Structure 1
């Protein structure tokens, strides 16, 4: 790859665009003689004459015009790309990627607290279950369920993943045992279909899953709503159902929580420009989770 010295190249682009040494010097905040020297350096490197010196100024030669037409758009693209990166961190928008269950059940009820503290900061939320890739994601940070290892990223545990069966009050009568669970419909979330087998193994009830009637939903939120409506028994995520437990809409009949070994992590790019707004938002999230 053959690239000329970039400072003389930028000076050439400005002179070619303004067609005036004085205007170019003013835009670049240097002297007119410094502009002339940089143009001369580029001409010597290329081995061609880019400008014809005239009594009242300069004009592009034919080869200079051809070069300027191709160089100009490249500098415009560099400028646009730089503006995109710098404005991303200088405006008052925080771009958060997470997923629907955490957004609806944990984050949204708490966001008014953040807005009260930082009224000028807007939180823009993108919900996605796709693998996290900051190379293509247009976000500042993400909250992701996992074991804590993401390439080229820093991860901080926000909420430990703790699960156990939940159902409407009275759905399971008497002592909650494997026999009490038999014949009950199991409500299964599509994206957390392994929760039931893992919890049943944890509780020593492995055989129950194979014989049970199951109803599959597209999200955990729907399984919990179905459980509240008496359709069956679901697996609840402890941190997502505090209000339902407190209001008595759902109960935990077995009282045998399982720590899955995963958690909801705040994930940021490893090479991220410092931003006060993002640092404040991360600290706020950790306080809300009781981890600060």
Structure 2
């Protein structure tokens, strides 16, 4: 009877249904994940997903999370990391900001007001450094989220380094233009982070499989395009 009971418990643990608690980055969730998420629910109608948006570091030991989408390096102890994608941040601005003089080189970029992101404090410094340009220090406003930086750029308040995949709609509508098609180099990326003791949880497995499939599809579409 004990063997039968244990087998039943194992079957219950591994069935595809259940609750999945996910921590996601706000703009990534809004711009990339949500437009695709109906497909996950269609394939996995038995899984109930709860989202929490996190900019600050998360703690799997304190918070009841099954997984988190994280930007940075895969250096979380006691976790399993799955690489999703790199972040190709390019300099963009509103057409009105560069209506008179469009930057022709990285040197020209140093004359523009620069918009900064709190979670990427060295983005502009790294971009100028990789292009052998010395920028003026301390210029430009700083914002907490990509959504705010994007709106500030659209309003003509300055140039911003924004991930191409998060601003595709704004580029297509002409609200933003690419100033120079030179992305900032970064060793960081987007990862799905899962506590080691929850990697075999069926809803986590289903989400991980779907997420990797979606990011691979995006990568292939970009390569073809």
Range of TM-score over shorter length: 0.7 to 0.9
The offset of 1:248, in angstroms, is 2.9
* Distance 1:287-1:169 versus aligned 2 partners, 3 A rule: farther
- The CA distance in 1 between the partners of 2:151 and 2:75, in whole Å, is 32
Q: Report the equivalent of 1:76.
A: none
Which residue number corresponds to residue 119 of structure 2? 191
Query: Quick check: 1:154 aligned with 2:80?
Result: yes
1:98 aligned residue: 24
Separation in structure 2 between the aligned mates of residue 210 and residue 175 of structure 1, nearest angstrom: 19
Distance 1:204 1:236 in 2: 20
Q: Are 2:152 and 1:204 aligned? A: no
With the length of structure 2 as denominator, give the TM-score of the two structures. Answer: 0.81
Q: For 2:35 and 2:81, locate their aligned partners in 1 and report how far apart those are by CA, in whole Å.
A: 23
Aligned mates of 1:272, 1:239 — CA distance in 2: 30
Distance 1:190 1:258 in 2: 16
Paired residue for 2:9? none
* SS state at 2:185 partner: strand
What residue is the counterpart of 2:142 in the other structure? 216
Trace 1:55-204 onto structure 2 (pairs within 5 A). 92-169=18-95, 171-172=97-98, 173-204=101-132
SS at match of 2:151: helix
Correspondence for 1:252 among 173, 178, 184: 178
Taking a change above 3 Å as real, the CA distance of residues 142 and 119 of structure 1, as seen in their structure-2 partners, is same
1:273 shift after superposition: 5.8
**May I ask how many residue pairs the two structures share in their alignment?**
208
Measure, in 2, the Cα distance between the counterparts of 1:158 and 1:238: 15
SS at match of 1:155: strand
Once the two structures are TM-superposed, the CA of residue 170 in structure 1 deviates from its matched residue by: 5.1
TM superposition shift of 1:250: 2.0
- Checking the alignment, whether the CA contact within 8 Å between 1:159 and 1:239 is kept in structure 2 is no
Corresponding residue to 2:159 among 216, 233, 243: 233
| Structure 1: tracts of 5 or more residues without a match | 1-27, 30-85
Larger radius of gyration: 1
CA-CA distance at 1:277 after TM superposition: 2.1
Q: Contact 1:186 / 1:214 at 8 angstroms: preserved in 2? A: yes
Gaps of 5+ in 2: 3-11, 220-225
Give CA-to-partner distance per residue, 1:147-175, whole Å, 9 cap, x none: 11210111011111222211123533334
Q: Which moved more, 1:179-188 or 1:228-237?
A: 179-188
TM-score if structure 1 supplies the norm length?
Answer: 0.63
More helix by share: 1
Q: Would you say the 8 A contact 2:106–2:128 is kept in 1?
A: no
Q: What displacement does 1:234 show? A: 0.7
Q: Is the 8 A contact 1:161 1:261 kept in 2?
A: no
For 1:102 and 1:270, how far apart are their aligned partners in 2?
A: 24
Greater alpha carbon shift after TM alignment, 110-119 vs 159-168: 110-119
